[in-house]
Amino acid sequence: MHKINIAIDGPAGSGKSTVAKKVANELSYLYIDTGAMYRSLTFLSLQAQVSEQDEQSLIQILEEMEITLEQQSDGEVQVLVNGERLGEEIRTQAVTAKVSEVSAHRKIREEMVARQQQLAKQKGVVLDGRDIGTYVLPGAELKIYMDASVEERAKRRHLENIANQRHSDITTTKEELKRRDGLDRQRETAPLRQAEDAVLIDTTNVTIEEVVARICRIAREKENED
């Protein structure tokens, strides 16, 4: 048995982070939420009143931004930005509205990818994002591309917003999600797409537990391959 790396990509609300966390827990792997890294940079840029178009100033913020991972006793991994735990503040509408523009800059992506590859240096990691199977970990032993209908994804995000006491209405949530998917799919550098060797999982009518079980089954087979 040997540990492998797992790359999970897909559009917003397809279930990546929920599933990735559970898979990592089940396999005793490390989970790395790459979206949280782009969200953290966006949060800091809003605080510094730097425009999402200003690549040079964004790079400067990123260069000064220290990202560390802290594994908690329950297996959850907390992303620390400059030593601080960022939680709800990186999931606000203000951050969500700008994160795809901030993430589209080539130099930002190069730096983020380098940091993610550093964090994933040892085997036994699960990374989720948009470009993990295609750019960050092209050699990952297991690649998953998760998708679901836009209606289902919007409904999930809406319910999640309400559960977290964020203001939400389903129509705006759906429009915002479509806009962000469009930007992520159409950007020049490392756009969202399914890697050729990725397993496609449509989660529209599938429970979280079923998706987790399927991924863990494939992962265990790969762990036992020569």
Q: Which residue positions form the known binding site for ATP?
A: 10-18
Binding mask 52-71 for ligand CDP (x = CB under 6 A): --------------------
Out of 4, 6, 7, 14, name the contact with ligand CDP by CB under 6 A. Answer: 14
Site for ligand CDP in 29-48 (CB under 6 A): 34-35, 38-39
Smallest distance, ligand CDP to C-beta of residue 180, A = 5
C-beta closer to ligand CDP: residue 23 or 131: 131
Neighbours of 76 (CB within 10 A): 12
Q: What angle, rounded to 10 degrees, do the helices at 55-63 and 34-47 form?
A: 110
Among 4, 6, 7, 16, binds ligand CDP (CB under 6 A): 16
- The least distance separating ligand CDP from the CB of residue 31, rounded to whole angstroms, comes to 11
Q: Kindly state the number of chain residues that form the binding site for ligand CDP, as judged by CB under 6 A.
A: 27
CB-based contact 40:65 (threshold 8 Å): yes
92 lines the binding site for ligand CDP (CB under 6 A): no
Q: Which of residues 124-163 bind ligand CDP (CB under 6 A)?
A: 129-131, 156, 160
Instruction: List 127's β-bridge partners, or say none.
Output: 7, 32
Q: How far is Cα 29 from Cα 10, in angstroms, rounded to an integer?
A: 20
Residue closer to ligand CDP by CB (options 140, 225) is 140
- Burial class (CB within 10 angstroms; exposed 0-12, middle 13-18, buried 19+) of 170: middle
- Rounded to whole angstroms, the Cα distance separating 106 from 189 reads 6
How near is the Cβ of 192 to ligand CDP at its closest, in Å?
7
Q: Strands 77-81 and 67-71, how do they pair?
A: antiparallel
Instruction: State phi, psi for 8 to the nearest 5 degrees.
Output: -125, 120
If you write DSSP's letter for every residue of 36-68 in order, what string do you get? HHHHHHHHHHHHTT--TT-HHHHHHHHHT--EE
Among 5, 45, 103, 134, binds ligand CDP (CB under 6 A): 103
> Which of positions 184-223 make contact with ligand CDP (CB under 6 A)?
184, 203, 206-208, 211
Structure tokens belonging to residue 206 = 């599938």
Q: What is the three-class DSSP state of 225?
A: coil
Interface positions with ligand CDP (CB under 6 A): 10, 12-18, 34-35, 38-39, 99-100, 103, 129-131, 156, 160, 180, 184, 203, 206-208, 211
